[in-house]
């Protein structure tokens, strides 16, 4: 018999006490482990989604930031995306540390977003009028607007509107981040416990079978 036609059950039995085909009990162990693995794959799928969201978020923060704190937050979020991917790959290998990395990473992301939003909110609340600040950075635009009738009268309402919209935006991001990152961290923490229990109750040879994709 050629190697390609060899009995796959004999290959699965590598690492067990038996050298022959797997018995019914061993097959049930593998099937039960596969069912648990599907739950872990949902966690890695969520992590993959988070990686892309973090990359997009870092890019948006970077291009929209007008100060140093925004740039720092963007690089922090980009670093969190790399760490999220590192945790995802470890969890895909059924390593407990993978879920722990993902849990810790969500808390890091939460801290970065909270810091960025708080700094931005304080800046909006206590800083100069956003309209006047924009005009100071774009003197050519300011000159053109000064030539327009009624531009001076509109300056104050525009500035207040920009300030209000900024506060609403950063406040909303803050609330959403606390909910999303907080719940995600809890989910990964629970996943770490399940992976640990999985290794405690699953024979090593079964784990090896799953990792080989059998």
| Torsion of the alpha carbons at 200, 202, 203 and 207, rounded to the nearest 10 | -110
Q: What is the pLDDT of residue 10?
A: 39
| Tens digit of each residue's pLDDT (9 = 90 or more) over 89-104 | 999 999 999 999 999 9
Task: Count the Cβ atoms, other than its own, within 10 Å of residue 97.
Answer: 15
pLDDT at 15 over 50: no
How far is 200 from 142, CA to CA, in rounded Å?
68
Greater pLDDT, 156 or 6: 156
For the chain, what percent of residues have pLDDT higher than 90?
32
| Tens digit of each residue's pLDDT (9 = 90 or more) over 167-201 | 888 899 999 999 999 999 999 999 999 999 999 98
Q: pTM to 2 decimals?
A: 0.72
Once rounded to an integer, what is the mean pLDDT over residues 119-146? Answer: 65
CA distances from 97 to 5, 76, 79, 122, 213 (A): 38, 21, 18, 37, 21
Spell out a b/e string for 165-204, using b for 16 or more CB atoms within 10 Å of the CB, else e. Answer: ebeeebeebbeebeebbeebbebbbebbeebeebeeebee
Q: What is the pLDDT of residue 165?
A: 84
Instruction: Kindly report the three-state secondary structure assignment for every residue of 137-165.
Output: HCHHHHHHHHCCCCHHHHHHHHHHHHHHH
Q: What is the pLDDT of residue 9?
A: 41
Which of 9-18, 57-66, 197-206 is predicted most confidently? 197-206
| Tens digit of each residue's pLDDT (9 = 90 or more) over 28-79 | 888 888 888 888 999 999 999 999 998 998 888 888 776 777 788 788 888 9
């Amino acid at each position: 018999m050629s190697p390609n036609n060899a009995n796959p059950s004999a290959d699965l039995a590598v690492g067990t006490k038996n050298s022959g085909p797997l018995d019914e009990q061993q097959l049930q162990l593998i099937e039960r482990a596969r069912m648990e693995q599907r739950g872990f794959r949902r966690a890695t799928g969520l992590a993959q989604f988070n990686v892309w969201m973090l990359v997009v978020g870092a890019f948006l923060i970077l291009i929209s930031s007008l100060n140093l704190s925004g740039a720092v937050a963007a690089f922090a979020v980009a670093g969190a995306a790399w760490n999220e991917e590192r945790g995802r790959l470890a969890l895909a290998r059924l390593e407990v540390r993978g879920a722990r990395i993902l849990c810790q990473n969500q808390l890091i992301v939460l801290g970065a977003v909270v810091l960025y939003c708080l700094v931005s909110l304080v800046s909006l609340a206590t800083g100069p009028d956003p309209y006047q600040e924009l005009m100071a950075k774009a003197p050519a635009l300011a000159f053109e607007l000064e030539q327009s009738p009624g531009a001076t009268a509109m300056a104050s309402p525009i500035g207040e509107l920009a300030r209000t919209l900024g506060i609403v935006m950063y406040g909303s991001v803050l609330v959403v981040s606390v909910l999303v990152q907080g719940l995600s961290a809890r989910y990964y923490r629970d996943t770490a416990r399940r992976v640990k229990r999985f290794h405690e109750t699953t024979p090593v040879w079964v784990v090896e079978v799953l990792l080989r994709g059998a």
